[in-house]
Structure 1
Amino acid sequence: MAVITFVRHGVTNHNIEKRAQGHTQNPLNEEGRAQAQLVARRLSEEQWDVFLSSDLRRARETADIVAAAIGRPVDEFDPRLREMDRGKIADTTEEERVARWGKNWKQLDMAQETHESMRARGIGFIQDIASRYAGKRVLVVTHGYFLGQTLKELMQDESTGSELRNTSVTTIAHDGEKWGYLLYDCTKHLPDHT
């Protein structure tokens, strides 16, 4: 089985503003680019057989910075790695949603991707990669909520996969029976890591 290392993209202004990102093509901010440089330096100390990334801009920017440091290009920008599709609420804050649709906006159909759909997409990706790249070390740049929901489903543990930090590193491997963590939400490359 493949060993898969997931990296969440660097921070964006949308993250700071608590603005729903979804499939928006918003960029990293200055702090996010600095975070990406730090995680790239860390990842350059290891060997990677395959490098994949979400095709959304904030992940692509992170992946491009990592690619320069590890000395290999991204093999594929895979739309299966995209963040949850936020539908009508993409690019809005909670305050803006309440102003536009009222305080009960969560009861309305906002055309958002379901958790079940997102989890199925994530599990499908992992199964495909584990099969296609058996025995390989795979590096993946993706998104926090998508990754968290995928890990909850994969590990069959709802207590995992919450609040994954920007540029955190999470590595999973299969022991022949089940998937497990080799590393989880690690930010030792960041100056204020805890």
Structure 2
Amino acid sequence: MQKLYLVRHGESEWNNLKRIQGQKDTFLTFKGEKQAEKIANRLVSEEIDIIYSSDLKRANETANIIGEKLNLQVTPSEAFREIKFGSWEGLSTEELTEKNSEEHFIWLNQPHNFKMDGAETLYEVQKRAMNKIDSILKSNPNKNILVVSHGATIKTIILGYVGIDLKYYNRMTLNNTSLSIIEFRDRNNVIKLLNDTCHLEEDKYE
């Protein structure tokens, strides 16, 4: 049974500062690097054959830490980048609320209807990400694939492969270095695991 493993990147500098990242290139924090090491240790017991990642640093760094542990090369791809937020990128959450209250309200409450000049829609993100995964799966039958990407992108992938409308996008959350797994079964696709962070449990005591 073929599986798709989806990992969100570790904590980044702008995650820590609560700034909108989108496709801005930010690095992992020290905590993010440690989170990546922990998910890497978690994945040793899984049968992963191929690793892809977003080409943005925070995701690619996370993927390379995993790849080193699993002795697998990482292939970066623009297709797995985070949603492009245009003029929002770099703003703090407070600034976003003050300057873009109407668009922000739509993003929080009806994200599938979000449309702004210079930004991507969720449908555009889902299309580019799933087209790439479809191509990878077709070229690698019976291989298990790991994709290290970003919160919004991973959520659109999960919803797409199990046939759930993007209007339910905001009913899901994904933590840094969370693991989600989709199984491709004969009759349908199944979410085997969602937003699992058991490998980070010790953080509570650090």
Fold shared per TM-score above 0.5: yes
Q: What's the counterpart of residue 47 of structure 2? A: 47
Show structure 2 runs of 5+ residues with no match: 107-114
2:141 to 134, 143, 158: 134
Q: Which moved further from structure 2: 138-147 or 40-49?
A: 40-49
1:75-123 CA distance string (max 9 Å, x none): x101111110111111112322355x45445589441101111111222
Does the aligned pair in 2 maintain the 1:27–1:57 contact within 8 Å?
A: yes
Distance 2:101 2:51 in 1: 42
Whether the 8 Å contact between 1:147 and 1:161 is mirrored in structure 2 is: no
What is the identity, as a one-letter code, of the residue corresponding to 2:81?
Answer: R
Aligned to 1:96: 95
Name the SS for the 1:189 alignment partner: helix
Match of 2:109 in 1: none
SS for the counterpart of 1:148 is helix
Q: Does 1:162 align with 2:172?
A: yes
> C-alpha separation between the residues in 2 aligned to 1:60 and 1:102?
30
SS state of the match for residue 39, structure 1? helix
**What code does the residue aligned with 1:185 have?**
N
CA displacement at 1:166 relative to structure 2: 0.8
Equivalences, count? 192
| Aligned residue type for 1:93 | S
Task: Tell me if structure 2 keeps the 8 A contact 1:9–1:58.
Answer: yes
Once structures 1 and 2 are overlaid, which stretch shifts more, 182-191 or 29-38?
A: 182-191
Matching of residues 75-90 of structure 1 within 5 Å: 76-90=75-89
* Structure 2: distance between partners of 1:16 and 1:169: 20
Letter in 2 for 1:81: F
* More helix by percentage: 2
**2:136 and 2:154 mapped to 1: Cα distance?**
15
Q: CA offsets, 1:11-38, max 9 Å, x none?
A: 1132233311111110111111110010
CA–CA distance in structure 1, aligned partners of residues 100 and 89 of structure 2 = 16
> Any conservation in 2 of the 1:170–1:186 contact (CA below 8 Å)?
yes
Deviations 1:49-82 (A, max 9, x none): 21111100000110111112112221x1011111
Secondary structure of residue in 2 paired with 1:22 = coil
Moved more, 119-128 or 56-65: 119-128
1:129: how far off?
A: 2.1
1:145 maps to what in 2?
152
Tell me how far 1:184 sits from its aligned partner. 1.6
Please point out which of 107, 122, 127 is paired with 1:115: 122
Residues 5 and 88 (structure 1 numbering): CA distance in 2 closer, same or farther, change over 3 Å?
same
3-state SS, counterpart of residue 198 of structure 2: coil
Partner of 1:13: 13
Measure the CA separation in 2 of the matches of 1:161 and 1:133: 32
Contact 1:6 1:170 in 2 (8 A): yes
The separation in 1 between residues aligned to 2:169 and 2:147, in whole angstroms, is 22
